[in-house]
Structure formats: C-alpha cells, structure tokens
Structure 1
C-alpha cells in the first residue's frame, strides 16, 4: 500500500483513538450532561422496547432513541455508557461520509484527509459526539441525504430525509432544499433542451432565470409535457416526505412535540448574523483570504454596503431577541459571551454590525454560484427562514448549515496551508473546551450531579 493510500487510515485512526480516550474520560467524570437528563431515560426505555413511554419535556421526535434501539436493543446494551456510544459510533460514520463528500471537490490525498478531520473536529459538533444528544445522528441522516442526492439516488435520498425529520423536525428544511434543487434543475433542463440544445445538464445558470420564469409562467404545460416518468417518480419521493411533515404538523398542532412553550416560533433575524460570525470564527483562515476582496467590493458597491449597514443596524436595534434560557443557563459558553459582551455593554451589539456585513459577504459569496443558482437560492431562503424563526441563540442550530457551507468552500481558491490552520485551530479550541469541561464544575441547587460547561 502506497503512502497516499495510508493517509485516510492514519487520519481515521487518529480520530478514533483520541475520541475513545476522551469518551471514556467524560464517562468517568460526568453522570448527566445538561439535556441528557431528558434524553437518557427515554433512550433506555426505547432500548428495552418500551415505546409507549414519553417525556413531555422532550421536543424532538424519537429518531435518536430509535437508532439506539436498532444498534443496542438486540444486544441488550442499554447502559448509559453504550447509549452515549451511539453518538460516538455515528460520529465515525459521519467521518466516512464527510470524506466521501470532500473527495468530490478537494484534490490531493492529504488535503482530503485534513479537510475531513477539520470538519469532523468542529468543536461544538465534536463535543456532541461524546454525549447522548440528537445532533450527531441528525447529521448522519443529512450527510446521507446529500450523498444520495449527489449520486442521483433520489429514492434513498428521500428516505434519508425522512429519517432526518424523525431525528429533528427542522431538518425538513434540508429535505426541501435538496429536493427542490433536483426539481428546479430537472425542469430547467427540460426547458433548455428545446431552447438551448448545448446547455450543460444539471445546472441552472443565472443568465437563463428570467426567460425560464417567463416561459414557465406563460405556458407551464409546454415545459412539463417534456418531463419523464423518472422525474415524476423521483420528485414524488421528496414530495411524499414533505407531505408527511405537513400532516404531522397539522395533527400535532405545531412543529414541536412535548414542551411547546419553551420553543415557540418567533422572528429573530439577528440569528442569521450570529450564524455568519459562527462561520467566520470556525473557518477563519478562509475569511481572512477574503478581506481584500471585501474591501474591493466596498469601493465598488458603496451604496449596497451603506444600505446593508443601515438595515443591519435597524434589525439589531428592533429585533434582538433574548430568550430566558440564554440568560439562565450558565452551562453553555454562549451564556458567558452574551452576559460579558452583548448584555453588559449596550453599544456592543451595534459595534458588531460591520463584522456581520463582512461575514455575510463571505458566506453569500461561498454559497452563490451564478452558473447554477438552484441550490444557492433555496439555501438562502431555507436556512434564513430556519434560523430567523428560532428565538433561542443556540450554537447547535448552526451546525448543519455550517457544514454545508464548509463543504462549498473551494479549496482550489485558497492557499494549501489554510486547511492546516483550520485543523489546528479546531484542535486547540477542543483542547481548551475540554479543559474547561473537566476543571470548571458548576453546582446547581437541587441537582446532585456536578454540572459542566459545554458548547
């Protein structure tokens, strides 16, 4: 076996060894970690096939618990250790899926491995690989959805999308994004075959958007009659998942199961700003490379920048939402960020506006592709709606959009050492976060277990 072929094995072995050592240490030092007090009892019940029992404080569907049932139930491994191991196992699966997705866009064996590890070691995500939370399993289903979608296995992509909703209801947004991307590209393709015979298949360029929309609105049947049975079957797969979700919301009386009062839908547009800063912090080497491009954009588009700044300032002033949980739960890093900066200094939230504008510029530039606008438009609309409807500032909400954003970063446009800087940054942040976790206990009145500070 040549050295290049050893890179993935070495990288995956490094991830496995480090993760197992940390996993065991967390197990030995921490009984219940934050929301595990709700997830762990239900996981044990489902693992023992007691499906009729439920905790009304749990707000997500039982995808996490069902995954434990499938993995651990037949073996009778229903202890806290093995339930947590569910997340660790799926994090390993995610590592493989990420490597497959990264390999489609990144050249060079070591670049593929380091990029994959950098994403897998994303600090808020990596910590969750060691606790019994929904996020890691949820990510697995979305990565499967993306992988099947890119390979045009739309039936399996829809099944993965269905499983993702069972893990977390808000994942319906990503089913809509990728299912909608397929439908838009295909319908455009049927239109283009009779107007531009040499069009590149599978892409919806910006230059054709106006004539396409005009023709479709004028006579949709002229385009639709050229469609194929395969298109309708594949589209029906995605549509059936969306119909299932709509039916569930109607019968349930809302998207949230259990405690609906703590997770009400609101308008919180600054969440989009926070997400852009999240991207900037964890992918900072790529953002640094865009600073001069941003300054060039500012000099060419002064009016756009001025309007963006004014709109952002108005949004921050009139629409900053502070959820009670954000102020009350000192077991999360974001609690300290908010109380020491946003909440302490009234001017701080306004001073962040230029950073928001820059960070959004880079995010939009990364996602936007004028040679194929189908995904870009749906991503901006879907993710923007998803984030702006969340009243609680919670870093976990940013994980899936971030990973999709990160997979869109074109390494060929970046210096080779950037991914190395990203990787070592994530390693250092993880080391710092775990040190705080192990050495800074938090004591809550009425709780026998020591609480810990987590992402």
Structure 2
C-alpha cells in the first residue's frame, strides 16, 4: 500500500521462497499417512462413502454423515482424471483420498486465493511464475486449523475453496459492463457447488457476497455523504448520498449510521438493488428448497445438530482470531497506544491522530453489558464438547466453566479487547493524501492574449481576448476535486469501509450462532475472508518523507514493514509443528477402548 521505497533483496528473496514453503503440506500428509494409515475420527465416515462412489454405488449413503456429497464427488473427478492420464489409482484408499485434499490445499487453493487477493486490492500481478504467490497467501495456507486438516480427509478445505471461487466469479461478473450472462451463470453454478460441499456456505455465497453486491451497487450510483447527524444521514440517503467512512476513522456509532444510510439509499433505487442480487437470491431459493425436501439443514445425525440460537459463538471468535493473528496486531497496536515520541523510528507508522481510536466510553457501556448478558443467558455447552477430550476446545471449556464460576464473566474483558483489535485491524493503514491542488491567484488586471492570423489580403491582424475572473475554479470546486482524488486513492489502496465490516459480521454471525457445537474448523472461512481484506502493512513514517533512502536504511525499512508477515509465518509454523507432533506421537488410550490410540486435534 502506497509504498514509497523500492523492494529490498530480502523482500524479493521471500517472494521466491513462498512456493517452496507450500511443500510443507505434502510433507505433513506423508507423516500423517506413515503414523495414522487408517481413517481417523470423521474420516471413518468420509472414506467409505467416497469409496462407494468410486465403485459407482451412487445410492449408498451413510446416515451418520451430516454434510452433502461435494467432497466425494470432487475426489472422484480428480482421481478419475489421474486414472485416465496415468492408469492409477484403481482403488481409493485413505492415502489416495487424503492426497486429493493435499492437491486442493497446495495447488488449487493458493492459486484461487491469489487471484482473489489481487482483485480485492486492485493489484495487477505481473510477478514471474516462481514468485506469483504472495506472502499473504502462504500464511493463509499455513493457518493452523486449515493446515492441520489439509492432510486429513475432511470437508473444510474444499468448502473454503468453493467459497473463494464463488467470490472470484462474483467480482468478475460485477466488473463487466452491462449484464455478464456467462459470468453470472458460472457464479450461480459455483455457488450451488458450494452448498453441495457444506450447508453453511449459503451464508457466504448468498448473504456475504449478496451484501457486498448491494453495497457495491449503491456506492456506484451515490455520492459521499458529508453530514454526520443521524437525521441528516437519512435525508441524504434518500437523495442518493451514502455515509460510509473508513474503518480507521470510524467509531461505534458510525456503524449504526452506515447501516441506516445504506438502508435509506437502497430505498432510492430498490429495483436496481434487487436486480443486482438475483443470482444470490436464486442460490438462496435453491437452498430453501433443499431444506424443505430434507426436512432440516443437516443430512444425518439430526438429533445432535439441531439449529438453535448460540450467541456466545460471537464471543469466542475474537480470542480465536487474536491467538492466531497477534503478529498482525502487535506493531499497529503499539503505534496506537504509545505516543509517537516513544516509538522507535523503525517501528513508527506515523498514524494520524484521527486513526488513533481506542475503545470509547459509549462502546464500553454498550458492548460489555451485552457480552455479559450473552455469557449469563446463552452459554451453551454441546454434549460433544465436554465428552471428547481429543479436541483442544474441551480444555478451553473446562477452564471457562470448571475452574471458577467467575472465569466465564472475567473472560468478557478479553472478548472485548480482542474484538476491538480484530475490527481495528481493517484500519491499520496509512493512506497518503494526493498532491494538494493549489488555487492560482488571479491578477488584478485581466490578462490579454494575442491571437495572430493572416487576413484574406495577406496582412497580419491581432485579436485581443480577455480572461474573466469568473473563469477561475472556486475553492469549493477544488475541495471537491481533492476529496474525489482522496477517495480514489482509498479505493485503490483497498482500505475497507464500515459497510464491509457490517456485511462480514452479518454473514459470520449467521454462520456461527445457529451451530450449537464450538469448532475451530467453523471459523476458518470467517478468518480467511478477514485476512484477505486486511489492508497491506503500512510503510513506516520514515519512508514516507519523500527522500531517497540509503540501501542499508531501505533494507531496514522493508524488514520492519514486512516483519508482521514474517512473524506470522514463524508463529503458524510453530503451532503446526507442536500440534502436528502431539497428534502423531502423543496418542493415548481410553479405558473403554483399550488398544485403540486416541489423538489430540483441533
């Protein structure tokens, strides 16, 4: 984002190392297959079902499987293609099926993630093939819950891939002038395929992408609302002006104002707004038809997966994000909390004062009591959570519920601070203002220009013209042009607005609060979309002083700018190494199942 320094050798070398780091995924699969050759846990249901489809037994279905058959169909297509090309595999064992997930996570997912990342941030990726993948995409693929299940035959990797692909096609069809029929049809097909992989994908392909489409449609035909009063925002919204500040400049009340503004602006153009989301409504209608046909959302084990209202899920998500992503928060939070004079120059982002927003009194008085109420009235513990000590969530809930009755209430402070950091991360950027437009002072005497041309008789004639003072640009017009240039720079930089956070929160809430079981896997898609939309790391204030830097100084600035991503990579590798080692080599036995090894996992 708006970097003013050239790339250092360290940064360039890191780009070329990214593809090689993805080799960790097949290495992980090799270790898993060597130590755990037989299907483990949910694989015991998925593997036989995939093998039944491979044998063309299309009517067979295990009633204990809760998700649709997208994973098994995907494996069938990949393995059938390999069989046609190289004559194998003829039989699908656990290793072959796990390998299809490796191909999904190490080949298809990074490719489609990079395409989506470039589109979101409006970057033309001209890097050579060896460095085409970015460091951000690598870190997403190394995200511990995602990495862990990349070598087990679970549905999570494919469920994420189809959501990413649906997002790619939705943006592609939106970028076309006019109505892109082919792109829209492909989007609908991929959106339906997302539902075949996992039912909760409906909230991402219909609610999330549909909500972004509505915001995009409104913003395309609206002006920026400069008012801040609620009544004025409503009135301006009805006049096609939208109040939607950057996250970095927004307070808690701005989220409410933005929601009201978008609602008012949509009333100005209801037909065009609805027309823009017809594909999303079609996918939603197909999902509704499935629910009616199936008499519920899940396919099997309906007694243990009944939908309910589990608001506490929206509390657990924040420490989850903070635990994994603290390297992204560390330097920006230091810059927000400490005065600039106390921040070393190679750590100082130079955040403007309007960006240095800490939680306000209103936010504390509104949010913390609401969180306490959720903890008191809506803490739901699924029977599986405290009955299965193979999952890390089991130990987290034992700490929250069994150590002391006050622990679950004290955790609200952690929830609140983590939520502030996660949302604020959308605004951890510094967007340089465009060059200042200067009003040229008008001379006291009107200027005269000479227009010399030949007369029909060959003699030269001179014509004097006067420039009127009314021809000059007014200060108000200059201010509007300056504001337009700044808005364009914001959009080019990919800085998220409040409207995006509202849509992301709505989809995340709907996908989580209906699930009674707390699972780290359920938070993979919300985290990935959050990580994709974070603005690129801001350059240091030192590098924005528009002066040439020496090579050594440039390297230090580049290292400091990219330090959060390097630290994130090391943190993810450390977590993966520890959880992988524990899974492979620290198995244990249950007294009721002697001789059978149980393993710790997410």
**TM class, shorter-length:** 0.7 to 0.9
Choose between structure 1 and 2: higher strand proportion.
2
Specify the alignment match of 1:149 in structure 2: 170
**How many Å separate the matches in 1 of 2:40 and 2:259?**
49
| Residues 427/215 of structure 1: CA separation in 2 closer, same or farther (3 Å cut) | closer
**How many Å separate the matches in 2 of 1:141 and 1:204?**
33
Specify the alignment match of 1:14 in structure 2: 21
| Residues 33/291 of structure 1: CA separation in 2 closer, same or farther (3 Å cut) | farther
Matched, 1:403 2:417: no
| Residues 19/301 of structure 1: CA separation in 2 closer, same or farther (3 Å cut) | closer
Specify the alignment match of 1:359 in structure 2: 418
**SS of alignment partner, residue 329 of structure 1:** coil
| Residues 172/292 of structure 1: CA separation in 2 closer, same or farther (3 Å cut) | same
Specify the alignment match of 2:39 in structure 1: 32
Q: Check whether the contact 2:43–2:153 (CA below 8 A) recurs between aligned residues.
A: yes
**How many Å separate the matches in 2 of 1:211 and 1:39?**
47
**How many Å separate the matches in 1 of 2:93 and 2:503?**
42
Matched, 1:171 2:212: no
| Residues 189/19 of structure 1: CA separation in 2 closer, same or farther (3 Å cut) | closer
**How many Å separate the matches in 2 of 1:211 and 1:393?**
34
**Partner of residue 147 from structure 2, selected from 123, 126, 141:** 126
Give 1:402 shift: 0.5
Give 1:136 shift: 0.5
Give 1:162 shift: 1.3
**Partner of residue 385 from structure 2, selected from 316, 326, 329:** 326
Matched, 1:256 2:295: no
Return the TM-score normalized by structure 1: 0.86
**How many Å separate the matches in 2 of 1:130 and 1:377?**
34
Matched, 1:382 2:507: yes
Q: Check whether the contact 1:268–1:319 (CA below 8 A) recurs between aligned residues.
A: yes
* Deviation string, structure 1 residues 103-144 (Cα, Å, up to 9, x no partner): 453989789632221111111110100000000011110111
Deviates more, 1:47-56 or 1:418-427: 47-56
Question: What value does the CA root-mean-square deviation take over the aligned residues?
Answer: 3.3
**How many Å separate the matches in 2 of 1:350 and 1:112?**
43
* Deviation string, structure 1 residues 293-319 (Cα, Å, up to 9, x no partner): 479645x72132133222211211221
Deviates more, 1:246-255 or 1:307-316: 307-316
Specify the alignment match of 1:80 in structure 2: 94
**How many Å separate the matches in 1 of 2:158 and 2:534?**
24
Give 1:67 shift: 0.6
Deviates more, 1:336-345 or 1:311-320: 336-345
**SS of alignment partner, residue 450 of structure 1:** strand
Give 1:61 shift: 0.5
Specify the alignment match of 1:183 in structure 2: 214
Give 1:360 shift: 1.3
Give 1:186 shift: 1.9
Specify the alignment match of 2:251 in structure 1: none
What does 1:294-373 correspond to in 2, within 5 Å? 297-298=357-358, 301-366=360-425, 372-373=497-498
Choose between structure 1 and 2: higher helix proportion.
1
**How many Å separate the matches in 2 of 1:140 and 1:258?**
24
Q: Check whether the contact 1:179–1:235 (CA below 8 A) recurs between aligned residues.
A: yes
**How many Å separate the matches in 2 of 1:106 and 1:434?**
36
Q: Which has the larger radius of gyration?
A: 2
Give 1:5 shift: 8.0
Return the TM-score normalized by structure 2: 0.66
Structure 2 residues not aligned, in runs of 5+: 1-8, 84-89, 174-182, 225-235, 246-256, 339-355, 428-493, 540-560
What does 1:202-213 correspond to in 2, within 5 Å? 205=244, 213=263
Specify the alignment match of 1:42 in structure 2: 49
Matched, 1:161 2:191: yes
Give 1:156 shift: 2.6
Q: Check whether the contact 2:426–2:535 (CA below 8 A) recurs between aligned residues.
A: no
Deviates more, 1:411-420 or 1:360-369: 360-369
What does 1:184-223 correspond to in 2, within 5 Å? 184-187=215-218, 189-190=220-221, 205=244, 213-214=263-264, 216-217=266-267, 223=269
**SS of alignment partner, residue 364 of structure 1:** helix
**How many Å separate the matches in 2 of 1:154 and 1:350?**
47
Specify the alignment match of 1:424 in structure 2: 570
Give 1:339 shift: 2.0
Deviates more, 1:170-179 or 1:332-341: 332-341
| Residues 214/99 of structure 1: CA separation in 2 closer, same or farther (3 Å cut) | closer
| Residues 187/68 of structure 1: CA separation in 2 closer, same or farther (3 Å cut) | same
Q: Check whether the contact 2:202–2:287 (CA below 8 A) recurs between aligned residues.
A: yes
**Partner of residue 290 from structure 1, selected from 333, 343, 351:** 333
Structure 1 residues not aligned, in runs of 5+: none
Q: How many residues align?
A: 439
